[in-house]
Structure 1
Amino acid sequence: MPTHFDRDAVAPTPIDVVLPCLDEAAALPRVLAALPPGYRAIVVDNGSRDGSPEVATQHGAQVVHEPRRGYGAAVHAGLEAAGTELVCVLDADGSFDPTELPALVAPVATGTADLAVGRRRPVSAGVWPWHARAGTALVAALLRHQGIPLRDLSPVRVGRREGLLALGVADRAFGYPLELLIRAAAAGWRIREIDVTYAARAAGTRSKVSGSVRGTLRATRDFAAVLRTVGVNR
């Protein structure tokens, strides 16, 4: 069962937060301002044309430029650039609350989990479109069938930097989170799923995945490629 957010969770700092970014200038100020004390932003720009890197710099974030397009490419570049033992990954679009990160960090920091991942809890109807929710539910059910106890494949997670890199996740597109979970489970990692609130993105922006049926289909294609090459057998 997922664990609910604990507002009293305490974690060691500093902790780097990797934020993959493609045209998120409208959301970045609010996201960066909401990071808890000691949590340092690494904004990985993936080819933005809206001034996202400049906005990130103005708000105190370290900016890494990743020319190879793809969610996985951006996350991997951020992990390589991180300098702390524990690393968080969080979307830069404003749909997740950075103040909830300590609750995910706590089980990893205390050694009761090797990987903490978020389980999205929409704050209102329409936040998580049916096509995106259905695709996620299907893949999560397949993972559970193979003994990986998850209900979501959210883009929020916390782990130890060296361990995450050592897993050797090869996907550089939307299949990255799925491959990460499969490889972590195969390596015997203790995976903890924790509830996180899921809200609307910043005004004027749209999710590259759940914002359209086309985006969901592209992510599904990437998931299928991971399943073909990596599989889910433990």
Structure 2
Amino acid sequence: MTIPHTELTILMPCLNEAETLAVCIDKAKGYLDRSGVNGEVLIADNGSTDGSQEIARSHGARVVDVPVKGYGAALIGGSEAAAGDYVIMGDADDSYDFTSLDPFLERLRAGDDLVMGNRFLGGIEPGAMPPLHKYLGNPVLTWIGRILFRSPIRDFHCGLRGYNRQSILDLELCTTGMEYASEMVVKSTLAGLRVSEVPTTLSKDGRSRPPHLRSWRDGWRHLRFLLIFSPNWLFLIPGLIALVLGIGGSLALLLGPARIGPVGLDIASQVYLAALATVGYQSILFGVLTKLYAEREGFRLPRGRNFTWLAKRMTLEALALVGFGLFLIGLIGLIIQLAAWGSQGYGPLDAADTVRVAVPAALMMILGAQTIMAGLFLGILTIPTRSVDVMRGRSND
């Protein structure tokens, strides 16, 4: 007997959803029956203690137990266990309509890799989404995602979405919390997958208890994920601009006061420009180390040729050498000033002339120390550990 091919898996993450799970499964199975699609309903259970597993099985769903806690972990486990070529995922709280999945399946059959629901286009029932999420959280986080990653998606956090199972598995998604929703969209966009969206509706969920979502905590986790994936725009480019302006301006004022139109620049400006350079350099180091850390933790960030070239040469030894060179430049300036002071019998000095030289010298020493410490931190990041190597399927050799 030939087992029929499974085209679609309707996947629901579940953690104590006994109140609404049965109606969601019945709606999903009803869709499969009416549409003639050969599919399954799969419940990715995340450790329910209210009998959700028995409810799911009694209503004809398949259950896979996912011991790792978290929304993302449940969906990763469910995607790996799914039998269908396509997966349509949705929350098991009866807020999404599992009877109207045709638009998702049509786009998947047409070759799209990820099809997002858009609740703002389809309609949000009164009371279905808290005002904080509707007018601030979702719009702001979606706007940030669209700007930073040039994504066409206008509702980053819709819980009803469909995807080509193998395409998404190939992305190696790894976040276990609510930020998984952002990770799927961001990585799909960066990988050049075909991404689209269709209108969908959002209803008030049928549970009597509060949702698992925690607005500020989970909102921050989404934002943190977006920051990790966009160090160029947030840290490297602004940091480079600040560093160039700070060092250039500080060295220019070493020769004496300057004017830019009606604005006069002197020692105070030099001090603030040196501070700007320090902050800018720290931002650059932070951006680079963030990228290296994210890759070490299993995130597949986009790598340009320039960063690949830089990453190969950024070692503890190289940074220590560069840092020592910068510190030495500043130290030479300090020694020259001390020698000049000694030649005058260590008496009173002209404050303006002294500070004018001391500021860039101190700046070089600070940048040198920052570089050395960044190298030491990089050395810590690159220490081989069993957990990371096993996760990546590598040995310690």
TM-score by length of 1: 0.87
Q: Does 1:138 align with 2:140?
A: yes
Match in the other structure for 1:93 = 93
**Is 195-204 or 74-83 further displaced after alignment?**
195-204
Identify, as 1 or 2, the structure richer in helix: 2
The 3-state SS of whatever aligns with 1:197 is coil
> What do residues 125-183 of structure 1 show as CA deviations (whole Å, max 9, x unaligned)?
22110122221111111122232122212111111111101111111100001011111
Distance change (3 Å), C-alpha of 1:27 and 1:230: same
Structure 1 gaps, min length 5: 1-11, 210-214
Distance in 1, matches of 2:146 and 2:164, equals 24
Identity of aligned residues (%): 29
Q: Does 1:164 align with 2:168?
A: yes
Distance in 2, matches of 1:154 and 1:123, equals 11
Identify, as 1 or 2, the structure richer in strand: 1
Match in the other structure for 2:185 = 181
Distance in 1, matches of 2:172 and 2:228, equals 13
Q: Does 1:14 align with 2:13?
A: no
Question: How many aligned positions are there?
Answer: 217
Distance in 2, matches of 1:83 and 1:40, equals 8
Q: Does 1:26 align with 2:25?
A: no
C-alpha displacement of 1:229:
2.6
Distance in 2, matches of 1:45 and 1:164, equals 20
Distance in 1, matches of 2:190 and 2:7, equals 29
> What do residues 165-217 of structure 1 show as CA deviations (whole Å, max 9, x unaligned)?
111111110000101111100111121111111001114243222xxxxx111
Match in the other structure for 1:195 = 199
RMSD: 1.8
Q: Is the 8 A contact 2:47 2:66 kept in 1?
A: yes
Distance in 2, matches of 1:40 and 1:179, equals 25
Distance in 1, matches of 2:192 and 2:145, equals 14
C-alpha displacement of 1:124:
2.6
The 3-state SS of whatever aligns with 2:44 is strand
Bigger RCO (CA 8 Å, 6+ sep): 1
Distance in 2, matches of 1:194 and 1:166, equals 23
Distance in 2, matches of 1:71 and 1:39, equals 23
Structure 1: which 4+ aligned runs deviate by more than 2 Å? 121-124, 228-234
The 3-state SS of whatever aligns with 2:219 is helix
C-alpha displacement of 1:123:
4.3
**Larger Rg computed on CA atoms:** 2
Q: What aligned pairs does 1:74-89 form with structure 2 within 5 A after superposition?
A: 74-89=74-89
Letter in 2 for 1:151: R
Distance change (3 Å), C-alpha of 1:98 and 1:39: farther
Q: Is the 8 A contact 1:115 1:189 kept in 2?
A: yes
